[in-house]
Amino acid sequence: MRLYTTERGIAREDELGTLSLLDLPEREVGELLRGRGLEVVRDAAVTERIALGDIRVLAPILRPGKVPIIGLNYRSHAEEVMEVMKLFGREVEMPSEPNFHLTPGSSVIGTGDAIVLPPVAPTMVDYEGEIAAVIGRAATRVPVERAWSHVAGLTVANDVSARDIQRRAMGGDVAVSVGQAKSLDTFKPLGPCLVTIDEFDEPLDLSLRTVVNGETRQDARTTEFVHQISELVAYVSHYFTLEPGDVLLTGSPQGVGQFAGTFLAPGDVVEITVERIGTLVNHVTTAEEPAS
């Protein structure tokens, strides 16, 4: 089942390219997850059918409570990081446990929205195409074998990062953190929809492709995962409770801009496509000057 949060409420894609607007008091998918759950969607009355291109689609989860982000979960990306760190005289090994940081729900935007280059760090902003797991049931210290049942569905994400801040943090500057580099407003695009977890099985085998201005930058499959989603959910749940509507980003493959020196600039268009989910599209702009 493919669910959208739109400017007119929650919609279900019953036919490819056509949305069925649903008669629900909840206005977005995250509200459903935190309340009655997704099962009410299956039998909800349809108020109108409308072409997907004729309605504004928002982030499926408008304001997640928490957005944990996993690092180095694709072998190819972990290997390129290790090679670069050698240039700085640092030996980095493949992590035996998931590495994660926490970012705020206020950084979330939807497909079609603008990634805004922040005034505090405008010159080294980078993309990271990812798959995101949306939590459907509260998870506290859950075992791996039960973790999959706590996931409501999957969506596409872009873990936008200010690399200058991130480099300072990774270089030992205690004034900043990696999470800080990934927490700025508009830095967590999600969408275009939530595909319910019953459409997938582990181990996942999905393609992920990131295209910037028509040029393919990332092209990988989730068979590269170091840790499967159920392992990530279980691991993070031992540090804090994952609640319905939380969004867990599962890592990015090789091809991020920082290693090629190709950072995002005003006017750029970033498209991230995940097989069987959809394409997340965002353009890049600068921050507007504050009103005088």
Q: Which band of pLDDT confidence, cut at 50, 70 and 90, is reported for residue 86?
A: low
Beta-carbon contacts of 274 under 8 Å, excluding residues fewer than 6 positions away, are 129, 131, 154, 156, 206, 207, 208
Mean predicted lDDT score pLDDT of the chain: 94
What are the structure tokens assigned to 135, written together? 């939590």
Facing residues of 21 across strands? 11, 48
Identify the residue with better confidence: 148 or 167: 148
Per the listing, tokens 């240039």 go with 87
Task: Compute the distance between CA of residue 23 and CA of residue 90 in angstroms, rounded to an integer.
Answer: 57
Q: Which two tokens stand for residue 244?
A: 């319905």
Placement of tokens 């999959």 in the chain: 148
Instruction: Reply yes or no on whether the pLDDT at 88 is more than 60.
Output: no
pTM of the model: 0.94
pLDDT tens per residue across span 117-160: 999 999 999 999 999 999 999 999 999 999 999 999 999 999 99
Name the fold adopted by 67-286: Fumarylacetoacetate hydrolase; domain 2 (3.90.850)
Separation CA 194–CA 145 (nearest Å) = 23
pLDDT of residue 89: 66
Every domain of the chain and the residues it spans: 2-54, 67-286
